[in-house]
Amino acid sequence: MKDKSETIALVIIGAGPGGYAAAFHAADLGLQVTLIDPKKNPGGVCLYHGCIPTKTLLHFADVKRQSQEAAQIGLNFQSVGVNVEKLRSYKDQVVKKLTDGLGQLTRHRNIDYRQGRAQFVDDHTIEFTGADGEKSMLKFDKAIIATGAQAAMLPGIETDVSMILDAETALKLNDVPETMLIVGAGYIGMEMGKIYKALGTRVTIVEMTPSILPGADKDLTKIVASMHQELLKDSRFETKVIKAEKEGDKLRVTLEDNNGNHEEQIFDKMLVAIGMKPDSRRTSLEKAGIKTDDKGFVVVNEFRQTNKAHIYAIGDVAGEPMLAHKATHEGRIAAQHIAGQKSAYEPKVVPAVVYIGLAWVGLTQAEAEEQQADVTITRFPWSASGRAVAMGLTHGITKLIFDKKSQRLLGAGFAGEMAEQLIAEATLAIEMGAVAKDLELTIHPHPTLSETIMEAAEMFDGQATHAIKRTSKKK
C-alpha cells in the first residue's frame, strides 16, 4: 500500500448510469470529481452486461421475426440463418462504441477516472485498490455511492456453475444450448427468453406467480402473453425450482407447483432471473456508519443523502425501482445538491418498460382498485389505428387511467410492439398534471402510434374518432 494519502473533493464509487451521470453533471457544475469503477471505461452493468447488450440482441430477435413474417406483405426470404459468432461480435462492438464514448466524455470533462475498487475505511476515507492490485488511501470531502446491484441467485442450489447462468453470463453467448430453463418471468426472464428462442433454443419458463410480469396490469400482460405464445408454450406458473443436479453434461431439475406436485426435467442450461439485489456489501459501508434497510438498500432522503450528510447514494443501491433511468435522474439530483443548488428527488412517477411489447407508468388498475380510487379507465385498441394496421400491430392497446373528478391523467399502459416509444409522452403528461382535454387537444401526427394516446384521451368524454367509448369506472 502507498504510504502517501491524498484528499479529493468528490469521489463517486461506481460508474454506471447513475455514477457517470452524477460525475458528468458535477464536473459541468465546476466540481472536482474522482470516479472509481472496475471497468476500463464508465458504463456499469447497464452498458456492459445489461440494458445495451440485451437490447442489441432483442433487436436481432425482432429482425429475425420480421424477416420470417415478411411473406405476409410480399417479401420472401429463402432462409433465415443465424451466425452466432457475428452476432456476438456485433453486440460487443455496440458495447465498445458506447463505453469508449463515455470514456472520451470523461476525459473531456477532466474527471479523474480510476479503474479499480473502493472500500470505506471511515466516513471520510476510502481504500482504493487499482486494477494492478496496488492500494492507496483516499480522503474525501463528499462521496456518492453508486455501486448498483447484483443478480439474485436461487438459495440452496449448488451445481456446476457453467450450467447455471445469470443475465450477464447468458449475454456472452458462449454457446447456444438446445434447451434452457429460465427461472422467473419478470422483465429479465422474458427478454432473455425472447433472445434465446430467436437463437433456436427450446425455452421453458418457470414462475412462482400466476402470470408473467408481476406488477403490470393483467389485461396488458395477457396481450403480451398472446404475442409470445410460442415462447410460453412450455411455461409453468405457480411453480418453483427446488433442486438442480448435474447429470452428465446436463441438469436434472426438480420443479414443485403450489399443490406440492413434483416434476423432473432435463435441461442443458438454467438461467436464473429472479431479480436483483443491491450491491451494498462490498464497499464496507458499516465502517463509514452508513445505514441500510433490511433488504440491503442504502437509506437516503429526498436529496439522496445517507445518514451521513456528506455521503450520498443513488441508483439500484439506494432503493427501488431498480432502473437505469431512475439512477441517472438521481445522479443529477445528487450532483446539483452537492453543488449547492436547490434540487430534490421528487418525481411523480417512474416509467417501466419491458422490451417484449409492454410499458406502463403511474397508477395501475390494480392499484386503483386496491385504493378504491374514483377513476375512469379508457382503452384504445390498436386495431383502430391506421399506423398499427399498416405495420401489422393490431393486437396492441393503449390504456389511460384518469381521476374521474379532476380528469387528470394518473396512469398509462401500452401493450404491443414499440410500446416503449409511447411511454415518455404519458410520463410527461402525468408530471405536468395534464388532463384528458390536454391530450385530446394536442395535435398528434398522422399516421402514428402516438395518436392512440390522443384517441384514448378522447374516449374520456365518449368522442373517440376511430373507436367506440370503452370505459370502466372504479369507485
Counting Cβ atoms within 10 Å, is residue 142 exposed (0-12), middle (13-18) or buried (19+)? buried
**Closest of 367, 358, 82 to residue 221, by C-alpha:** 358
Residue 475 scores a pLDDT above 60: no
Q: Which residue bears the cell 450450467?
A: 163
Q: What percent of the chain has pLDDT over 90?
A: 88
Give the integer Cα–Cα distance in Å for 473 and 369. Answer: 10
In eight-state DSSP terms, residue 444 is P
From the list 140, 141, 139, 118, the residue with the least C-alpha distance to 128 is 118
* Structure-model confidence comparison of residues 97 and 75, the more confident one: 97
238 closest CA partner among 255, 264, 258 = 258
Identify the architecture of domain 5-151+277-338 in CATH. 3-Layer(bba) Sandwich (3.50)
Q: What is the pLDDT of residue 144?
A: 99
The structural domains of the chain, with segments of one domain joined by +, span 5-151+277-338, 161-274, 352-474
pTM of the predicted structure, to 2 decimals = 0.93
Residue 309 carries which side chain, given as an amino acid letter?
Answer: A
Residue 100 predicted with pLDDT over 60: yes
Mean pLDDT value across the chain: 94
Please, are residues 411 and 369 in contact by the beta-carbon 8 Å criterion? Answer: no
Percent of the chain's residues with pLDDT above 70: 97
Mean pLDDT of 42-54: 97
pLDDT for the residue 1: 55
| Architecture category of domain 352-474 in CATH | 2-Layer Sandwich (3.30)
Specify burial of residue 215 (Cβ count, 10 A radius: 0-12, 13-18, 19+): middle
Fold that domain 161-274 belongs to in CATH: FAD/NAD(P)-binding domain (3.50.50)
Residue 470 is predicted with a pLDDT of 52
Cβ atoms of 20 and 98 closer than 8 Å: no
Question: Regarding predicted confidence, which is higher, 390 or 5?
Answer: 390
Reduce the DSSP state of residue 399 to 3 states and report it.
Answer: strand
Reported as a single tens digit per residue, the pLDDT across 328-383 is: 999 999 999 999 999 999 999 999 999 999 999 999 999 999 999 999 999 999 99
- Angstrom CA distances, 319 to 131, 147, 206, 281, 299, stand at 29, 12, 26, 14, 8
Any idea which residue has 410500446 for its cell?
Answer: 419
271: Cα within 13 Å, side-chain hemisphere: 31
Work out the widest C-alpha separation in the chain, in whole angstroms. 76
Q: What is the mean pLDDT of residues 76-104?
A: 94
CA nearest neighbour of 97 among 56, 156, 151: 56
Residue 337 known to be catalytic: no
The pLDDT of 280-301, averaged and rounded, is: 96
| Domains 5-151+277-338 and 161-274 agree in fold | yes
**Nearest alpha-carbon partner for 273 in 39, 50, 38, 114:** 50
Q: pLDDT digit string (tens) for 119-155?
A: 999 999 999 999 999 999 999 999 999 999 999 888 8
Residue 259 pLDDT > 60, yes or no?
yes
- For residue 180, which of 407, 195, 172, 99 has the smallest C-alpha distance? 195
pLDDT at 54 over 70: yes
Q: What is the pLDDT of residues 136-145, one digit of tens each?
A: 999 999 999 9
User: Which one of the listed residues 59, 310, 337, 446 is annotated catalytic?
Assistant: 446
Nearest residue to 252 via CA among 242, 264, 270, 237: 264
Q: Give the pLDDT score at 71.
A: 83
Amino acid identity for residue 200 in this structure: G
Secondary structure class of 162 (helix, strand, coil): helix
Average of per-residue pLDDT across 77-84: 86
Whether the bond between 321 and the residue before it is cis, its omega within 30 degrees of 0, is yes
List of E strands, 198-259:
202-207, 236-237, 239-247, 250-257
At 251, the pLDDT band (50, 70, 90 cuts) reads very high
CB 326 within 8 A of CB 350: yes
